[in-house]
Chain A
Amino acid sequence: MDIDQHRISTAVNGARHTKTVESRLLLSDFIRHELLLAGTHVGCEHGVCGACTILFDGLPTRSCLMFAVQADGHEIVTVEGLTSGGDGLNPLQQAMHEKHGLQCGYCTPGILMTMTAFLDANPSPDEAAVREALSGNLCRCTGYQHIVDAVLLAAERMRGARP
């Protein structure tokens, strides 16, 4: 069988990329290997762990359960896109740092992408809502408590920063 290839054009962190991809290339591998954005991690590769979570047209999505070819004409944000210019930490990242919301850090990019969309839609969450939103991201280090603390702190600061 000939290699089935497709030309795609996708916006990643605001930058337009046009590439030729094999149809079976997972979106997660496209982001890591073709775009060299290695912040998106690959854990289980079957949609359970959440490490590869990105924003696909603004919504948290498993990039290991999509094909790169499906990103044609769509917008993607990865962890590298959370801070403009890639420097410094945004309020959620800063809170994760201060509250020790990570140890090994493998799950962290996926959690940041999930929680970015969550805080956008829920500026004043309670702890139960944070835990429910976190349910699709596995963390084997922290026991989650410090992540929950960080998200609540970030929410408080982001509310305060609003005009």
Chain B
Amino acid sequence: MKPAPFEYIIARSLDQALAAKSEYGDEARFLAGGQSLVPTMNFRLSQPAVLIDINPLDELSGVRDGDGIRIGAMTRYRTLERDPVIAATQPIMLDALPHIAHPQIRNRGTLGGNLAHADPASELPAIVLALEGTLKVRSRTNDRSIPAREFFVGALETALRPDEMLVEIVLPHHQSRTGACFMEVARRRGDFAMAGVAAIVTLGDDGLCRYVRLAFCGVADRPWHADDAARSLIGIAATESAFTQAAELAMGAMDPSGNVHASGGYQRHLAGVLTRRALAVAVTRAQQGHSRSSRGH
């Protein structure tokens, strides 16, 4: 229950951190909040030879409203929970953040660390996927942007190369008349979800669904989007029966493997129920004409 030995490098600048990662590659891990990495090190499930501590890099922290909502990778959950830009522009985050572990964990854990860890049951990867976010990554020699859809490639696996760091997450602004909602079911508060869904709905001037996105956590080896289910709602009225049909399409397309807490069939059932409910809340929020809404739990 003690970590294996490793070399600790404290990053005093982003360039220094990237140079170290370039030198050590897969032998090194970045230490962000450490709330997922350190438990695996304590269990010796992971034994990185080098840890590069990026906590001193203040430039990686914070939320800016510019060309989209730009969130530094080292922004902690605690900051997101209290950030006025997030509350005004991406309140779906406030649906999900209280489900992430407990206050002590949220005081340390970071958005970038969460996404780079890529736990398939985690909430924020599904939300970033539903919001069609872009992940800005950087290496010593290169910058690139990866759409969320291409970033998550498997359980705990991302498109990050050994010399790259996730530095910023960009979420596009919602169009007007957009509502978003995240819901999940877990065995206990703070546990990983057995199933969770992020639903985004934009209504047209005619009141019909114009744009829909559905993404799930906990039901696949990565955050999973239900494109056919979302598409089934385009151009039709946002009714309970339409939500049921979309939920059935999503349930039919997913293949959850089941785990110690829930069978695959039960996960699929939960995902269907949550899809209907989250779509209904998202539509209500869209009808209210703004995306700010009360917390949906």
Contact = CB atoms under 8 A, between A and B. Distances in A.
Chain A interface main SS type: mixed
A3 B34 contact: no
Given A4-B6, A6-B8, A24-B2, A135 B189 contact: yes
B117 interface: no
A82 to B, nearest CB: 17
Interface string A105-126: 0000000001000100000000
A41 interface: no
A69 interface: yes
B3 A26 contact: yes
A81 interface: no
Contact of A62 (B10, B78, B108): B108
A69 B34 CA distance: 13
B39 A136 contact: no
A157 to B, nearest CB: 23
Nearest to A46: B39
Given A46-B39, A53-B104, A61-B104, A66 B34 contact: yes
B38 A23 contact: no
A9 B152 CA distance: 39
B294 to A, nearest CB: 15
B104 A136 contact: yes
Contact of B8 (A23, A47, A50): A23
B232 interface: no
Given A59-B107, A60-B103, A133-B103, A47 B7 contact: no
B4 interface: yes
B43 interface: yes
A5 to B, nearest CB: 9
Contact of A59 (B34, B53, B78): B78
Given A26-B2, A47-B38, 16 more contacts: A23-B5, A47-B35, A56-B107, A61-B108, A62-B35, A62-B105, A64-B42, A65-B35, A66-B38, A66-B108, A67-B8, A67-B38, A70-B53, A132-B189, A136-B101, A136-B105
21 contacts: A22-B5, A24-B3, A26-B3, A46-B42, A46-B43, A47-B105, A53-B104, A56-B107, A59-B78, A60-B103, A60-B107, A61-B104, A64-B42, A65-B105, A66-B38, A67-B8, A67-B34, A72-B10, A135-B189, A136-B103, A136-B105
